[in-house]
Amino acid sequence: MASTSSLALSQALLTRTISQNGSENRVSVPAFSGLKATSPRTIATVRRSVSTSSHSLRPTLVCAAAVEAIETTTDSSLVDKSVNTIRFLAIDAVEKAKSGHPGLPMGCAPMSHILYDEFMRYNPKNPYWFNRDRFVLSAGHGCMLHYALLHLAGYDSVREEDLKSFRQWGSKTPGHPENFETPGVEVTTGPLGQGIANAVGLALAEKHLAARFNKPDNEIVDHYTYSILGDGCQMEGISNEVCSLAGHWGLGKLIAFYDDNHISIDGDTNIAFTESVDKRFEALGWHVIWVKNGNNGYDEIRAAIREAKAVKDKPTLIKVTTTIGYGSPNKANSYSVHGAALGEKEVEATRNNLRWPYEPFQVPEDVKSHWSRHTTEGAALEADWSAKFAAYEKKYPEEAAELISIISGELPAGWENALPTYTPESPGDATRNLSQQCLNALAKVMPGFLGGSADLASSNMTLLKAFGNFQKDTPKERNLRFGVREHGMGAICNGIALHSPGFIPYCATFFVFTDYMRAAMRISALSEAGVIYVMTHDSIGLGEDGPTHQPIEHLSSFRAMPNIMMFRPADGNETAGAYKIAVTKRKTPSVLALSRQNLPQLPGTSIESVEKGGYTVSNNSTGNKPDVILIGTGSELEIAAQAAEELRKEGKTVRVVSFVCWELFDEQSNAYKESVLPSDVSARVSIEAGSTFGWGKIVGGKGKSIGIDTFGASAPTGKLYKEFGITVEAMVDAANSLI
């Protein structure tokens, strides 16, 4: 019988996932799910259903206890029919929407059918079962392929009406895969190359957990990550970044299918892409297999997957040569089938060419019967795993508790007490150093806390001192060495975050180099992946390295991005407060902009106040009506506090406000906002060593903003602040001009 904690975890996990993906999502809750086993039984064998059709699946016994591949021996004519079902579901949905990408699903239907029907392990009625195999369609524009597979496999999230509402408002079948819309979709893809990068993150997470928790008598973590990527993904630089790391890390349970169809939007890829992908991946440390007939070479595809799974020490690229738009008499093997509906006449011609007599969206009964077995088999796989976990938990209770935390996302009780606190008497320090104290404190109490830097760990101050480096032969360690690969780093962390709710990945570089990884950060926000971005050297305060390394517009740009929190802490308490929020906001990524230069521990700051986003640090006024309000962030909050002292000497009443996180302040009640920034007080001055863009909504039409709206310069920090007017004197003058 599953233990009480397993039972509670099961219920909590399903509640969380259903809530996370919206109340409208159709997720059937099975009798057992997550870690729940409803009875002590162990499913020994499951007999596949046998259709009475002449194209039936021959009965096969499958042991659910240790299934390497759910392989079948299927009549080739039924496989043909199933493959064409996938093709026409995609054709019909794109045609009805008058929008979409039919070419990839038509070409990739054979490999995806073999993969989903014969090899992958999943439970359609619980898309969030922990030990499922993961699938990522990196070439996300071909998403009707994925939706068709989910529909055939029995996922409640993609029913016939969902296929018919492809790309429409409010549908579960958007124009590119979105994990927050469609249960069964692991990550959000579309920007080419992001998906394979996420897949590397998912595979890294599996390897890490397997190394930490598997035992000789119980391999409780054992699943594969599969991905399909196309020529466009291969051309994007991010794919080379992450595939280089995957080879270096030896991610043997990552298997990527390269849809080698030689067509992109502009035409044949020979106009811009003639390298040997095979040789490049071999050089990156991958095992490479070439399936020369991806159109109907089913046995070739099966053999390639078996070979890939037999290679344990490196990832595998299976290059599958296909025909884009296969079956279309006039558009196959051309760019015209890539990104537009076939058109009524060509749809009819394709139906005739492939001898497809069925109505739009119709799934033949023998195909439906064949795929229906996945509901029973998936439930058996999950039940078997749940029984394994119950035994694991009984024998290894401490490890089980840690794994439960990672699977469920339940934070350890009292974890926040590990965060350091500071007083004004504490030594001043750079917030990057204070950040390192927080990182190391959290790693001691958070089982799923891990991360690293883009070759700047000693400068970003992000090393976890109690742990070694995650490497091919030491995968249980928690320091991730990404090398100089900012874009890939961010996208890999998205994959880690979306693998299991209790993973809390962080990654780091200089703040200005978010320019290299912004696309991945935007996907973090869109896909609700709670990555923590530790960004040091946050302003001209970094000094002599000059304008190439000095961020100006970056704070404003992230404040403009939806669903991301932009923190700029001023001292130790605010840094700890930022981490407290970042850890708890699992569906929202956080960016921490941290200083290189030392800063004092300011009176009036606190961990708790950071939760408000903006709060009063000091105030000598009464009746909520100061003469002037001075507002600062980060290193400039100290300047605001000093300016306030000067103004108070002149007899002014002054309120100093820290605006550590605009997004959190926006979430507060109107009454709270009024208590901090009373509408009757128009004399407001902000100061921040960055762009003034956006500050108008804080200081109002009559206020003033002190900042930098040009590029920086190479000079010592003090000289830069003086020359750019980021000074106490400038703030006092601005305040006096408004009073």
pLDDT per residue over 353-394, tens digit each? 999 999 999 999 999 999 999 999 999 999 999 999 999 999
Task: With CA atoms as reference, report the closest residue to 257 among 324, 198, 308.
Answer: 308
Catalytically active residues are 486
Beta bridge partners of 45: 63
* Distance, CA of 95 to CA of 543 (rounded, Å): 57
The residue ranges of DSSP E strands in 308-391, in sequence order, are 316-321
* Distance, CA of 637 to CA of 639 (rounded, Å): 5
pLDDT of 245 strictly over 80:
yes
User: What does the block give as tokens for 413?
Assistant: 């009780």
How do strand 61-63 and strand 45-47 relate by DSSP bridges? antiparallel
3-state secondary structure of 581: helix
Candidate from 68-72, 211-215, 415-419 with smallest mean pLDDT? 68-72
Using the 8-state DSSP alphabet, how is residue 48 labeled? Answer: P
> Average pLDDT, stretch 235-250?
98
* Distance, CA of 501 to CA of 138 (rounded, Å): 22
Task: With CA atoms as reference, report the closest residue to 2 among 52, 39, 54, 29.
Answer: 39
> Average pLDDT, stretch 395-409?
98
At 268-321, the pLDDT tens digits run 999 999 999 999 999 999 999 999 999 999 999 999 999 999 999 999 999 999
Collect all residues with Cβ–Cβ distance below 8 Å to 150 and sequence separation of at least 6: 124, 157, 158, 182, 184, 185
- Predicted confidence band of residue 30 (pLDDT cuts 50, 70, 90): very low
* Distance, CA of 635 to CA of 597 (rounded, Å): 8
* Distance, CA of 314 to CA of 308 (rounded, Å): 9
**Residue 586 to residues 415, 502, 564: CA-CA distances in angstroms?**
15, 9, 11
* Distance, CA of 678 to CA of 686 (rounded, Å): 15
Question: What is the model's pLDDT at position 352?
Answer: 98
What is the percent of the chain where pLDDT is above 90? Answer: 90
pLDDT of 27 strictly over 50:
no
SS (H, E, C) 233-273: HHHCHHHHHHHHHHHHHCCCCEEEEEEECCEECCEEHHHCC
> Average pLDDT, stretch 335-345?
97
- Whether 171 and 96 have beta carbons less than 8 Å apart is answered as no
- Predicted confidence band of residue 70 (pLDDT cuts 50, 70, 90): low
**Residue 533 to residues 254, 418, 456, 514, 522: CA-CA distances in angstroms?**
25, 20, 13, 9, 12
At 545-558, the pLDDT tens digits run 999 999 999 999 99
**Where do we find the tokens 């100093």?**
656
Q: What is the mean pLDDT of the chain?
A: 92
> Average pLDDT, stretch 88-104?
98
Task: With CA atoms as reference, report the closest residue to 263 among 347, 339, 191, 197.
Answer: 339
pLDDT of 126 strictly over 70:
yes
pLDDT of 519 strictly over 90:
yes
> Average pLDDT, stretch 248-264?
98
- Predicted confidence band of residue 36 (pLDDT cuts 50, 70, 90): very low
pLDDT of 622 strictly over 60:
yes
Collect all residues with Cβ–Cβ distance below 8 Å to 288 and sequence separation of at least 6: 278, 281, 282, 316, 317, 319
Question: What is the model's pLDDT at position 65?
Answer: 33
Question: What is the model's pLDDT at position 75?
Answer: 85
